[in-house]
């Protein structure tokens, strides 16, 4: 129930944080990093931490020469070990448990289980950092210039036209001034891709070089015959390990006490990391595709043309050609983000007016472009205050 309460609290935070009327300032792959992946890692961290607090993370048995609570604490804060060459042997006849046997051979030490909650939390923070960088770089520009026009436009026609006119005028007067804005976005997209690759290799290092092949080994294991297969999850996350405790005897000699330790926590760890293996691989592929897409947007005008025609279903070929020819990458990114936040009909009207002004210039009777700080909801009180200031 405690675990359920913690997860419910996190779910409530995510609901409050993300299910409000917020401007969209990135794409779906970008959001998969800081919303989905960070939430997954934080939930896993909470589950492991709660299990450590509620249950016994390790339980050891020995010959009785050392109190149980002492050997449990010692083996948890130091390390345990298994014997890789003992894997695959018949349990009950040739080995007591997978990875246990005669100690006169190579040992594999395990101490990662102490650090799993901290590593999961740190990884969750890492997946949020590119979004945090982009959010601070973006400074709420899209939110401010699209305020009152996101989603379905309701209200008086005059108010809608006035907001649209102000937005178009802003786009005209800030033409070719958004390239640094676009640069920040593309850099943060690249950071997402680098981050997921870095997490794959750092997790492999954390688990002793076993994570890169972990998913493929599990798939191969599921396809093997029952008699011949060795569970790779047990090899990476052993359920039973050995631990050695040394102490002084009555005569001052050093006594050695062997213990077998049950790591029930590894039942959770093995499931968490097999899921993370598949998720990181999928996320890395999607992030790479997103980078290729962004490179095509930057380098190929035909890509930007296809986005306007197919994604936003906009206008005649001449109008699309005008936008592509007279805007730069930064201008197109702002237009693209606005299109993600608006009804297609309203967005089409804005682009039509934008093309008209690109071709024929701005009407001097139209309101001048406000700065992004002024593109917040246009209430009568704000307009009245602006007129008094001008006077």
Does residue 373 sit within a domain?
no
Does residue 383 sit within a domain?
no
Dump pLDDT digits (tens) for 102-114.
666 777 787 788 8
Q: Are 185 and 247 in contact (CB under 8 A)?
A: no
Q: Which of 8-17, 77-86, 206-215, 255-264 has the lowest mean pLDDT?
A: 8-17
User: What's the DSSP call for residue 255?
Assistant: E
Residue 151 has pLDDT above 80, yes or no: no
Query: What distance in Å separates the CA atoms of residue 16 and residue 18, rounded to the nearest whole number?
Result: 6
Top pLDDT among 13 and 193 is at 193
Q: How many domains are contained in the chain?
A: 1
238 three-state secondary structure:
coil
Does residue 366 sit within a domain?
no
Top pLDDT among 332 and 80 is at 332
Within 10 angstroms of residue 264's Cβ, the number of other Cβ atoms is: 13
248 three-state secondary structure:
strand
Does residue 34 sit within a domain?
yes
Report angle CA 141, 145, 149 to the nearest 5 degrees: 135
Query: What distance in Å separates the CA atoms of residue 275 and residue 44, rounded to the nearest whole number?
Result: 11
Does residue 379 sit within a domain?
no
Query: What distance in Å separates the CA atoms of residue 319 and residue 358, rounded to the nearest whole number?
Result: 10
Q: Are 30 and 189 in contact (CB under 8 A)?
A: yes
Does residue 387 sit within a domain?
no
Q: Which of 51-55, 129-133, 165-169, 271-275 has the lowest mean pLDDT?
A: 51-55
Residue 376 has pLDDT above 80, yes or no: no
Q: Which of 59-73, 176-190, 305-319 has the highest mean pLDDT?
A: 176-190
Question: In what order do the strands lie in the sheet containing 108-110?
Answer: 59-61, 254-262, 240-248, 80-82, 108-110
Query: What distance in Å separates the CA atoms of residue 99 and residue 81, rounded to the nearest whole number?
Result: 9
| pTM, two decimal places | 0.79
Does residue 386 sit within a domain?
no
Query: What distance in Å separates the CA atoms of residue 119 and residue 326, rounded to the nearest whole number?
Result: 48
Q: What is the residue range of 231's domain?
A: 2-360
> Residue 157: CA atoms inside 13 Å, Cβ hemisphere, count?
1
- Which pLDDT belongs to residue 372? 41
pLDDT band at 5; cut points 50, 70, 90: low
Query: What distance in Å separates the CA atoms of residue 381 and residue 343, rounded to the nearest whole number?
Result: 27
**Would you put residue 247 in left (φ > 0), alpha (ψ -120 to 50) or beta?**
beta
Q: Are 142 and 185 in contact (CB under 8 A)?
A: no
Query: What distance in Å separates the CA atoms of residue 218 and residue 233, rounded to the nearest whole number?
Result: 7
Does residue 391 sit within a domain?
no
pLDDT band at 255; cut points 50, 70, 90: confident
Query: What distance in Å separates the CA atoms of residue 387 and residue 382, rounded to the nearest whole number?
Result: 9
- What distance, in Å, lies between the first and last C-alpha atoms of the chain? 64
């Amino acid at each position: 129930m405690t675990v359920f309460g913690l997860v419910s609290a996190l779910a409530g935070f995510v609901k409050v944080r993300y299910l409000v009327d917020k401007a969209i300032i990135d794409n779906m792959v970008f959001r998969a990093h800081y919303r989905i992946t960070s939430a997954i890692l934080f939930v896993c961290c909470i589950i492991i931490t709660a299990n450590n607090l509620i249950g016994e993370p390790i339980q050891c048995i020995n010959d009785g020469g050392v109190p149980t609570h002492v050997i449990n604490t010692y083996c948890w804060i130091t390390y345990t070990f298994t014997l890789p060459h003992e894997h695959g042997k018949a349990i009950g006849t040739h080995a007591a448990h997978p990875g246990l046997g005669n100690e006169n051979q190579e040992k594999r030490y395990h101490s990662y289980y102490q650090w799993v909650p901290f590593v999961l939390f740190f990884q969750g923070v890492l997946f949020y950092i590119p979004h945090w960088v982009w959010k601070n770089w973006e400074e709420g520009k899209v939110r401010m210039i699209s305020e009152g026009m996101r989603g379905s436009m309701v209200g008086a026609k005059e108010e809608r036209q006035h907001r649209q006119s102000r937005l178009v005028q802003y786009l005209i007067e800030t033409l070719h001034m958004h390239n640094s804005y676009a640069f920040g976005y593309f850099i943060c997209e690249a950071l997402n891709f680098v981050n997921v690759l870095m997490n794959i290799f750092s997790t492999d290092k954390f688990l002793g070089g076993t994570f890169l092949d972990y998913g493929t080994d599990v798939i191969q294991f599921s396809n093997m015959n029952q008699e011949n297969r060795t569970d790779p999850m047990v090899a990476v996350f052993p359920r039973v390990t050995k631990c050695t405790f040394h102490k002084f005897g009555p005569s001052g000699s050093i006594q050695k006490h062997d213990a077998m330790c049950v790591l029930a926590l590894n039942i959770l760890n093995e499931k968490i990391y097999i899921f993370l293996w598949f998720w990181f691989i999928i996320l890395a592929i999607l992030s790479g595709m997103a980078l290729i897409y962004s490179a095509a947007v930057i380098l190929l005008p035909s890509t930007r043309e296809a986005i306007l025609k197919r994604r936003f279903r906009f206008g005649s070929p001449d109008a699309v050609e005008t936008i592509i020819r007279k805007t730069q990458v930064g201008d197109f990114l702002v237009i693209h983000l606005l299109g993600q936040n608006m009804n297609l009909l309203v967005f089409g009207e804005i682009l039509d007016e934008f093309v008209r002004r690109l071709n024929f210039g701005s009407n001097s009777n139209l309101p001048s472009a406000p700065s992004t700080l002024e593109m917040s909801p246009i209430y009568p009180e704000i307009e009245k205050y602006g007129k008094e200031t001008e006077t």
